Amino acid sequence: MDEVPPYSLQKLIDYLNTASMEAGKSIYLNLILARKRAWDRVYDKIAEYSDRKISPWNINLHKTQEQDLFILEFKPKRGEERSRLFYWKLLTYNEHIIIISFSTAEFWDIRRCLDSFIRCTEGFWYPWIGSKFLENLDLFITSVIGQEATIKVRPLSCYERDKRRKFGIKEIRYPEEWMTFKEFGDELVEDRRKGKFVFLKKIRCYVIHAGSVFKCSISDRAQIMFEPGGSFHLFAELLRPLVDRIQAMQENFRRKMIIKEEKVLVEDKPIILKTIQELQVLTIRPEISNNWFEGFIGLFSNNEELKREGLVSFVLASGNPYFLSHMVDITHGSSVYLSASEEQIRIAPAESITKAETVGTILELVEKFIDPTINVEP
Amino acid sequence: MGLISRHEFLVNVAAFLASNVVAGPGGIIPSAGVLLKNYGYELKLPELEKILTFFGKSGEKVPDLCMINSKNGILLVFECKSGITDTKDNTDTNNKLRFIEQIKFFKSEQFQIICKKIYNAQKIEIVVMTYNESLNDISQIIEKDIVDTTSIIVWTIPQRIYKESTLRREYGKHEDRYLDEGLQHGIIFEPPVNDMLIDPTIPDNILLCRILSRLLSWYSKSMLIREDTEQIITVDKFKKTHEDWIRSDERLKDLLRYLSILVPELGTYDRNRNEYIIKLRPRIGAILKKQKDIQQMSDRQFKEELRRRAPKQRLRGRPLTGRIKLKSKDKGALEPFLRK
């Protein structure tokens, strides 16, 4: 490897702080969710990924002195190019793992290496945090580092629903100037009042607190770019609360159905009686848009539109006003029941356990096309 | 309403009212599981084919649902009726006669003894659940054609589901005073959040479509790293994943076999191993089209289509020239299949 790997998290944070402040490097942080079963097979998955003919990389996962700190090395198959390194810190929960990935590689390297690996590997995904979270990021930051912090925002990537466009959305531009979250929120509310459904994909913000400053951009899939010159130590304080939030959302997104079986003997013949002990349902109430129900039916009945997102919809009931569809997520191999009445959208499991990625994909679609203000508070 | 039948909707509304539903953080479902939470009635789903073995006479049907209150020992036996069509003859379209027969069967001593044993119940009440518009027809039939009307209660829900739809008791009286008072004032309910395969009357073609959509979730689009074990689905694996399957293993095997015949684009069924093998790259567009066609078929059309396509499947690979004759071993395998 080209660089001497930091062997503990504290050393890694010190190293990244120096890289940002002195060497002027950008730091890319990605929060990745993984199923424990998938992580147990990570070496097999890496080997399978590397063995692909089209893959330009050979990947190695190195252990460090700290048990839950790993280094993922992307080594080019051809040429003398240097390796790209990703430092992975693992946080283990009951059935899944949250990985915080740090890297000082270039932007396109992130796309070519990490994004490609996550996209192609089953059981690993970027968690959904949503547009509404980005809109209220200041509340999250001040709750962690204190009310006296100065926080400003500049929207980077915003979209508006537009049925006339091929993909149903169009990019819109806000003035490229720093503003407070309140000013930005007022603009969004004003736009939405006029009937423009704007949702945020990526924002840029800066934070000043107790003589330290940092700038970063963050996407609705928890992909963060930390800009050069900032205090990584200050930023590192936000990481754990962010992970906790994602963990809590993950719990909310995982839907399950428990059915109890009971065996009874009648005239010496055994018979099984089943009872639904628990059926977990995620309920959301859209607030702003007036005709969201019609839009909802239109979107989730149109398999051509859903194909792009890797979803297949089997509509069971439509109109009344009541909608029920069995949504199969063929990207992640999981399915849910999606239902809606005039007041609520509900997501319920279609098998014993529904994968969080599937619920995240559906919520992202609802946010993109139906209501940008949807949020699932942990 | 779309493809869910009016009868299936009634069954699911009733099941949803007596299930333990836990709402997520985004909101609450106030009416979910109201019969369980407030009145103690728990839904218990028996194995459909097995329960029929207790009733000797052929042609008798199992109840649509059963709910038991273990405190007072009252068992509610549900007959969901989406409407009454009386064609004055004894054909399939005349469901008035079948309804009368069904209620009489529920009142019979044989049914009452067996059900009390299965559910450990002291008393049985028959609940006819219907839409508001059918209330008069059903009440008249009960009054006119059924001699013993004690313990027969009619519940109604509106035809169109509003945000606050109300379930009411319109005929008869429950022995459970609390439940009776609640239903007299009306219990607010919301439409079901999922579709469990618990309606015993779902026709084969609809059941096949529901299984198809469930099987599709096994298939993963990622062509890169595939978990090989997930592509082969055994009966046990299906039942473990979809625990709302209350029919027999044999029935599931039959349906998987029908699926491989009618929708070969999704996968094949191995009769010897009783496994369904999903294709590496199923053609989703073609599957959706087939699913739509199958859903629109009548029961008769479905059987004819199955019969039409089954021999072709068996004879695949044989020379196309000349007259195709079934060999004796093919006949032996096909005939029981066609008889089903």
Asked whether residue A154 is domain-assigned, the answer is yes
> What residues of chain A lie within 8 A of the CB of B119, using their CB?
273
Which of A69, A97, A125 terminates a domain? The answer is A125
The number of residues making up chain B comes to 340
Q: Which of A315, A341, A351 lies at the smallest CB-CB distance from B217?
A: A351
**HEC string for A47-81:** HHHHHCCCCCEEEEEEECCCCCEEEEEEEECCCCC
Mean pLDDT across B250-276: 90
Put simply, whether B160 touches A (Cβ < 8 Å) is yes
Position A319 scores a pLDDT of 79
Residues with Cβ < 8 Å from B245, sequence gap 6 or more? B197, B238, B239, B252
Please indicate if any CB of chain B lies within 8 Å of the CB of A265.
Answer: no
Q: Are residues A136 and A121 in the same domain?
A: no
Regarding whether B300 and B163 lie in a shared domain, the answer is no
Please give the model's pTM, rounded to 2 decimal places: 0.84
Mark residue B317 as left, alpha or beta (left: phi above 0; alpha: psi -120 to 50; beta: remaining).
left
Please tell me whether residues A112 and A20 are part of one structural domain. Answer: yes
Residues in a beta bridge with A346: A283, A339
**B197, part of any domain:** no
Q: Which residue of B has its CA nearest to A46?
A: B225
Burial A158-173 (b: 16+ CB within 10 A, else e): bbebeeeeeebbeeee
Quick one: pLDDT at residue B92? 56
pLDDT at site A2:
45
A318/B contact by beta carbon, under 8 A: yes
Residues A74 and A142 in one domain: no
**A275 CA to chain B: closest CA distance, Å?**
5
Task: Judge if the upstream peptide bond of residue A321 is cis by omega within 30 degrees of 0.
Answer: yes
B12 or A305: which leads in pLDDT: B12
Query: Which of A66, A93, A125 represents a domain boundary (last residue)?
Result: A125
Give me the pLDDT at residue B57, please: 57
Model confidence at B330, pLDDT cuts 50, 70, 90, reads very low
**Which tens digit of pLDDT belongs to each residue from B208-219?**
999 998 888 777
**Quick one: A41 and A147 in the same domain?**
no
What's the confidence (pLDDT) of residue A60? 92
- Chain A residues in contact with B225 (beta carbon < 8 A): 45, 48-49, 120-122
Number of domains in chain A: 3
Q: Give the residue from B213, B237, B291 with the most A CB atoms within 10 Å of its CB, the best one to mutate.
A: B213
Contact B118 A280 (CB under 8 A): no
Contact A287, A371 (CB under 8 A): yes
Select from A174, A198, A220 the last residue of a domain: A220
Q: Both B131 and B247 in a single domain?
A: no
- The per-residue pLDDT for B324 is 43
pLDDT of residue A6: 62
A76 occurs within a structural domain: yes
* Strand duo B74-81 + B65-69: pairing: antiparallel
Do both B13 and B92 map to the same domain? Answer: yes
C-alpha distance from A50 to closest chain B C-alpha (Å): 11
Query: Are A111 and A135 members of one domain?
Result: no
Contact call for residues A140 and A134 (beta carbons, < 8 A): no
Q: Are residues A69 and A175 in the same domain?
A: no
B-contacting residues of A 271-300, CB under 8 Å? 271-285
- SS3 call for A324: strand
Does B195 fall in a domain?
no
Q: How many CA atoms lie within 13 A of A114 on its CB side?
A: 27
Tokens for A290, please give them: 């007036």
Same domain, A187 and A114: no
Q: Which two tokens stand for residue A84?
A: 């790209």
Query: Do B208 and B181 sit in the same domain of this protein?
Result: no
pLDDT of residue B93: 58
Pairs of residues, one from chain A and one from chain B, whose beta carbons lie less than 8 Å apart: 205
Residue of B161, B162, B224, B290 best to disrupt the A interface, most CBs of A under 10 A: B224
- Give yes or no: residues A35 and A98 share one domain: yes
Q: How far is A112 from chain B (nearest CA, A)?
A: 16
What pLDDT score does A230 carry?
85
Check if the interface score ipTM surpasses 0.90. Answer: no
Predicted local confidence at residue B182, as pLDDT: 93
B7 part of contact set with chain A, CB < 8 Å: no
Is a pLDDT exceeding 60 seen at residue B264? yes
Q: Is residue B199 part of a domain?
A: no
Residue A170 near residue A207 (C-beta atoms within 8 A): no
Task: Identify whether B196 is part of a domain.
Answer: no
* A52 touching chain B per CB within 8 A: yes
Q: List chain A residues with pLDDT less than 70.
A: 1-7, 163-168, 288-290, 378
**Which residues, in sequence order, are bridge partners of residue B291?**
none
Alpha carbon distance A167, B317 (integer Å): 44
The Cα-based distances of A268 to A113, B51, B69, B248 in angstroms read 63, 13, 24, 19
Q: Is residue B119 part of a domain?
A: yes
Domain range for A157 is: 131-220
Q: Can you point out the beta strands (E) in A93-147?
A: 96-103, 124-125
Q: Is residue B194 part of a domain?
A: no
Question: Residue A288: what pLDDT?
Answer: 63
CA distance A368 to B60: 51
Which residues span the domain enclosing B146?
6-189
Contact of A355 with A115, CB cutoff 8 Å = no
- B1 located within any domain: no
Domain tally, chain B: 2
d(CA B117, CA B6) in angstroms, rounded, equals 31
| Residues A45 and A32: beta-carbon distance below 8 Å | no
A266 occurs within a structural domain: no
Answer whether residue B242 shows pLDDT above 90.
no
Same domain, A106 and A203: no
- pLDDT tens for B156-193 read 999 887 667 899 999 999 999 999 999 999 998 888 88
A336 located within any domain: yes
- Give residue B59's pLDDT: 54
| pLDDT: which is higher, B140 or B32 | B140
